[in-house]
Copies of this chain bind each other. A is one copy, B any other.
Amino acid sequence: MTNPTARPGGRTARIRAQVLDAVRAELAEHGYDSLTVDTVAARAGVHRTTVYRRWGDVGGLLADVYDAAGDDDWEPPDTGSLHGDLAALNEEIQAAMVMRPPIMEALIAASFRSEAAADAQRRLWEDRYVRCEVIVERAIGRAEIPPGTGARRLLVTATAPVYHHLVLLRAPLDPALPADAARTAVLAAVAGAFTEGS
């Protein structure tokens, strides 16, 4: 017996699909600036009130777009070397930040205005870091880096400069940065920077 109050029927799902499609389309055509509840509702052929009631604000819309995307098929790169994996990962991050439609960029911007978007962003990054731990495990298996290397700290060291450069400093894209940051993290890991006992 399902919850009698729930009603995930055809119309609800259909409207959700219409609205989320409208968000993606609007994002692709006019970017994050013109992404307002009104615009999305009009494009989806849905009344403003419906969007406000179900999603609350723009951040809620983006968060739902992200959850709906549910990119559960994503896997971290596997190039055969730690440096190759990290560099490829950083390239993906850099590409995602410049991507059209700029979903990633929009989500980050929205996370400063909406709690829902901030949560979606936290969930996304947490998920990604967990999935990427296999990169470190493989490197340990290849004896590239010492056993006991902390995966999370290594991954943050490798990727943080890319985010810092593009999101915070908003500096022009630096093609060498992904590989450079990856190389730095590898050298630090080899030197034992991420092993527990000092």
Say how many copies of this protein the assembly contains. Answer: 2
Task: Give bound CA distance, A45 to B79, whole Å.
Answer: 63
Task: Give bound CA distance, A165 to B163, whole Å.
Answer: 11
Q: Which residue of B lies closest to A161 (CB)?
A: B160
Residues on the B chain within 8 Å of A153, using CB? 180, 184
Could you pull out 23 A-B pairs where Cβ atoms are within 8 angstroms? A108-B168, A109-B112, A112-B112, A125-B169, A153-B180, A153-B184, A156-B161, A156-B164, A157-B157, A157-B161, A157-B184, A159-B164, A160-B160, A160-B161, A160-B163, A164-B164, A184-B188, A184-B193, A187-B187, A187-B188, A187-B191, A187-B192, A188-B193
Sorted from nearest, which 4 A-B pairs have the closest CB atoms? A160-B164, A160-B160, A187-B191, A188-B188
